Amino acid sequence: MPRIYFTFFLLFCTVIIVFYLNKVYVYEKILSQTSLWNTYSGGETRTIFQDPNIFLRQNVRTHIGDISFLEFREELYKKYGYDLTIPTYPFVTVQSKYVMNCTWEFSDWLEQQKKRSSRRPRAYIPDGEQRDFLMNKYSGVSYKYTDDRKKLNITYKSWDNIADIVTWHARDVLRLVDNMSGISMHYAMKHYYLAGKRGLILASDHPIVEVQAIQNGASRILSVGQVSRETNDISSLSLTEFANQHGRYSQSFDFVATYGTIESVGLGRYGDVLDAFGDLQMMAMLGCSLKKGGLFFLGIPIGRDAVIFNQKRIYGHARLPMLIAGFEWIGTFGEDFQASTEITGPEIDRLHKFDHMKRTLVLRKL
Ligand SMILES: *[C@@H]1O[C@H](CO)[C@@H](O)[C@H](O)[C@H]1NC(C)=O
Ligand SMILES: *[C@@H]1O[C@H](CO)[C@@H](O)[C@H](O)[C@H]1NC(C)=O
Ligand SMILES: *[C@@H]1O[C@H](CO)[C@@H](O)[C@H](O)[C@H]1NC(C)=O
């Protein structure tokens, strides 16, 4: 009898030792790897990334080579007033060191508008501002120029036909721009059911997002940023009027939505004032008008961080976390699936330099 116990005991010890060695070995192996982020696509590895020893050593690809999160933390986030708080995958979570002051955001924006001039938009980033536009060098840059000032004075016919357009099929609405990528906004709104909700929309040329919101049940929309018309469900304001009346709209909307617009704010293409942080400030202004817990539907290009001057920005590991600081990221929609999908490290890594994927992120205001 005792012999059997002894055998069991030996067996037990062996199992423990093997298990321990294995763990140490695996752990060491993982610790020494700096490219897990780009090769694993989630699951188990997420818990590994909770360990700062592993996580901060991970490298992600940028236009100037592979950069670790440790370097991002020290050379980028800290310098621009953010703390890296949670190693979320695949984009980290950062938090602004400053308490949001909505009054300041709007009055600063109005103050900056005084610099507006009627000269042609710039074709190059001014020398003194390279560093901020390129986020202390982590962003790539390429050039593609258009002068779209006249677009601001066009009232697209689609604004007059909204009553008709809302009766169209969701895919037909996107024929207005001849580009299906915006269907991700429709999928996102459908998933989060907007029935009876009031929304604020940052307008683009055609009232597509406005129509998508109405089709998905929104009861009332305020559209800001374009010269447009009133309809039964939609009213509109210029950005200046909106900023002047911000007190009236403070924390008053159930949701905010914008597709394909935020990435060009501050690049001067529409005659707007050049501002390296224009997109971040616009995000803050829209966020200030959103109720706590309200949803922000954000359609942006995602890839390796870049500025395509004066067209748009591409959001990657460096800037995306700063753009969505203060929100919880709860859903991601692409053009291929009606359901929420996830963006993975390898997916971002596979993209070529200035390539990007358009996604609608769903964020919840904290
Ligand atoms: C917010 O900014 C405004 C305008 O700059 C300022 O008057 C006010 O004191 C600030 N509020 C807080 C809480 O810092
Ligand atoms: C747009 O219209 C405004 C006022 O009607 C005018 O002052 C401005 O020059 C116009 N801009 C362009 C680019 O045509
Ligand atoms: C559709 O929009 C995406 C993102 O803005 C762009 O990359 C793509 O080239 C567009 N496609 C067409 C056919 O215009």
Q: Which ligand is nearest to the CA of 311?
A: 3
In the chain, % of residues over pLDDT 90: 75
Q: What pLDDT sits at residue 155? A: 77
Please report the pLDDT score of residue 43 as a whole number. Answer: 61
CA distance 276 to 131: 9
Tell me the pLDDT band of 245, cut-offs 50, 70 and 90.
Answer: very high
| Confidence band for 49, pLDDT divided at 50, 70 and 90 | confident
What distance in angstroms lies between residue 119's CA and the mean position of ligand 2's atoms?
12
Structure tokens at 234: 């939609």
Mind listing the pLDDT tens digit for each residue in 273-292?
Answer: 999 999 999 999 999 999 99
With a cut of 90, say whether residue 94 has pLDDT above it: yes
The rounded Å distance from CA 333 to ligand 3 centre is 16
Determine the atom of ligand 1 nearest the C-alpha atom of 108: 5
The mean per-residue pLDDT over the stretch 65-80 comes to 96
What's residue 38's pLDDT?
79
For residue 153, the CA-to-ligand 2 centroid distance in Å is: 6
Residue 363: is its pLDDT beyond 90?
A: yes
Mind giving me the DSSP string for 297-356? EEEEEEES-EEEETTEEEB-TTTHHHHTTTEEEEEEE-SS-SS-----HHHHHHS-TT-E
Give the pLDDT score at 299: 98
Report whether pLDDT(111) > 90: yes
Indicate if the pLDDT at residue 77 is higher than 80: yes
Lowest mean pLDDT among 146-160, 248-262, 312-326: 146-160
The region of weakest confidence among 41-50, 61-70, 232-241 is 41-50
Distance of CA 300 to the CA centre of its chain: 6
The atom of ligand 3 lying closest to the CA of 312 is 5
> The dihedral of CA 72, 74, 75, 80: what is its sign?
positive
The closest ligand to the CA of 105 turns out to be 1
**How would residue 26 be classed by pLDDT, with cut points 50, 70 and 90?**
low
pLDDT digits (tens, 9 = 90+) for 179-228: 999 999 999 999 998 999 999 999 998 999 999 999 999 999 999 998 76
SS3 of residue 229 by DSSP? coil
Residues with Cβ within 6 A of ligand 1? 101, 103-104, 107
Among the bound ligands, the one closest to the CA of 246: 1
CA–centroid distance, residue 276 to ligand 1 (Å)? 23
Alpha-helical runs (H) found in 193-238: 208-215
Instruction: Identify the H or E element spanning 67.
Output: strand 65-68
Fold classification of 102-365 is Rossmann fold (3.40.50)
43 C-alpha to ligand 1 centroid (Å): 44
Give the binding-site residues of ligand 3, using a 6 Å CB cut-off.
179, 181, 260, 358
Mean residue pLDDT of the chain comes to 91
pTM attached to this predicted model: 0.91
Q: Which residues contact 361 (CB under 8 A, 6 or more apart)?
A: 297, 298, 299, 300, 324, 329, 331, 332, 333
Q: Give me the pLDDT at residue 42, please.
A: 60
Residue 111: count other Cβ atoms within 10 Å of its Cβ.
9
Ligand nearest to the CA of 154: 2
Question: Which ligand 2 atom is at minimum distance from the Cα of 149?
Answer: 13
User: Is the minimum distance from the CB of 150 to ligand 2 under 6 angstroms?
Assistant: yes
Take residue 134 and report the two structure tokens written for it.
Answer: 């390129």
Q: Are 59 and 67 in contact (CB under 8 A)?
A: yes
CB 289 within 8 A of CB 331: no
Q: Which of 97, 103, 107 to mutate to test the pocket of ligand 1 (most atoms within 8 A of CB)?
A: 103
| pLDDT > 70: percent of the chain | 93
Q: Which ligand is nearest to the CA of 357?
A: 3
**Ligand nearest to the backbone CA of 104:** 1
101 Cα nearest atom in ligand 1: 1
Does the structure show a pLDDT above 80 at 22?
no
pLDDT at 51 over 90: no
Answer whether 149 contacts ligand 2 (Cβ < 6 A).
yes
Give the DSSP per-residue string, 93-132: EEEESS---HHHHHHHHHHHHTT--SSPPPSS--GGGHHH
Q: What is the pLDDT of residues 262-278, one digit of tens each?
A: 999 999 999 999 999 99
60 φ/ψ angles, rounded to the nearest 5 degrees: -125, 155
pLDDT at 347 over 70: yes
Q: What is the best residue among 178, 180, 181, 335 to mutate for testing ligand 3's pocket, by most ligand atoms within 8 Å of CB?
A: 181
Lowest-confidence segment of 45-59, 79-93, 308-322, 343-357 by average pLDDT: 45-59
148 Cα to the center of ligand 1, angstroms: 35
Residue 291 alpha carbon to ligand 1 centre in Å:
20
The owner of tokens 């790539």 is 140
Query: Which tokens is 358 given?
Result: 């358009």
Q: What's residue 301's pLDDT?
A: 98
Q: What per-residue confidence (pLDDT) applies to 1?
A: 61
The residues spanned by each domain of the chain are 35-96, 102-365
**Residue owning the nearest CA to atom 5 of ligand 1:** 104
Question: How far is the centre of ligand 1, averaged over its atoms, from the C-alpha of 241 (Å)?
Answer: 20
Give the Cα separation of 19 and 51 in Å (integer). Answer: 20
Average pLDDT over residues 157-166: 91
